[in-house]
Each structure stands twice: as C-alpha cells, then as structure tokens.
A = this chain, B = another copy of it.
Amino acid sequence: MDLEALRNFLRSRFPQVAGDYLPEEHEGRLVLRLRVGAHHLRPGGTVSGPALFGLADVAFYLALLARIGPQALAVTTSGQIDFMRKPGPGRDVLARPEILKLGRRLAVGEVRLYSEGLPDPVARAALTYAIPPDPGGKAGA
C-alpha cells in the first residue's frame, strides 16, 4: 500500500480517528503525523501519554499494512513505551515506525516519536502485532 492507499484505508476503516492522523513520507520513509488537538492534551498543554501510545500503535499498524496489504486483521498483542521528554507545546507529533521482524505469525517493531522541528525523541515504543493465519481469524485485542 502506498501513501494514498494508507490514507484511504484510514478514512474508510477508522473514520473516527482519521482526522487525527496523517500518513506522510519523509525521505522515503513512512511518517505518521498526529495533528494535535485539544482532546489530546493534558492540563498544562502537554500531549497525553495515551495519545502518544495511540500514535505509536497506529504508526506501526500502517507500516505493517504497507508491507502485507489491507486485508490482514492484524491486532496489537503488546506494547511498551518510554516517555522521555515533554512534547513541545503547539507542535504536532511525528511518529517514525520501523519493522524489525515480519514473521508469519508475529510482527515486531519500534516507533520513535518527535515533536515536529525538535531533534530529540519525546517517546520510544515497541509494538508486537499478531498476524492471523487466515483473514477470518482474530487472535488478540
């Protein structure tokens, strides 16, 4: 799936969040932009931890679909995230996913999150997805 296909997939399958996430390509690699809105913020104007976790999860999901196509009912089986810096106020957050293993049953990867225009990552996540053996199966949450 290319960038246009990923955007269409988000709009048709995840209409309730498609406005939050914009798939982009930076230097040949997939980047997912979180268009930060009021519903992502904690008191003080910081992007909330769960909003960052959600961004990492969707970014890895799209990176996976770009490789295996839209038909797969891949589901997250586990995630781990380190919150390292307060996101810069008033800045979108950009997620850079990386697939480290794409097996028959499990995909494993890492995502780094940056406040747009700032060099140091605000968070780093590891995600594992289960890939169902057939389109009808669903293995996790």
Contact = CB atoms under 8 A, between A and B. Distances in A.
Interface of A: 13-14, 16, 38-39, 41-43, 46-54, 57, 75-87, 100-101, 103, 105-106, 108, 110, 120-124, 126, 128, 130, 138-141
Contacts of A51: 50
Count of this chain's copies in the oligomeric assembly: 4
Given A84-B140, A122-B141, 9 more contacts: A49-B57, A54-B54, A79-B83, A82-B100, A82-B128, A84-B101, A100-B121, A100-B124, A126-B126
13 contacts: A16-B41, A49-B79, A50-B54, A52-B141, A77-B82, A77-B83, A78-B82, A79-B80, A80-B126, A82-B101, A85-B101, A105-B139, A123-B141
